[in-house]
Amino acid sequence: MYDEKMAAAVNTAQKRLMDMAGENSVLMSVTNDLAELSTLIEKLDPSKIDFDKGGLERLKINSYWNRFDEAYPAFQAVMEKLARNRKILHNSSVTVNRFYSEFCEAYDSFRAILESERDEEYIRQAAVTENMAMLMKSTIDEHKAVCERVDTVLMVTEISLNIAVYLAKQKFGRNIGAAGNVPTTGEISSGNFKKQFAMLKNILSDIK
**pLDDT given for residue 36 in this prediction:** 93
User: Is the CB of residue 85 less than 8 Å from the CB of residue 26?
Assistant: yes
**pLDDT given for residue 81 in this prediction:** 94
Cα→Cα distances 115→81, 119, 131, 193, Å: 51, 9, 20, 64
**pLDDT given for residue 183 in this prediction:** 52
**pLDDT given for residue 111 in this prediction:** 86
Average pLDDT, consecutive stretches of 10 residues, N- to C-terminus, the chain (208 residues): 85 82 81 92 90 86 93 93 90 84 88 84 89 88 87 90 87 75 62 90 81
The pTM of this model reads 0.79
Nearest to 181 by CA among 34, 75, 27: 75
Q: Map residue 136 onto helix, strand or coil.
A: helix
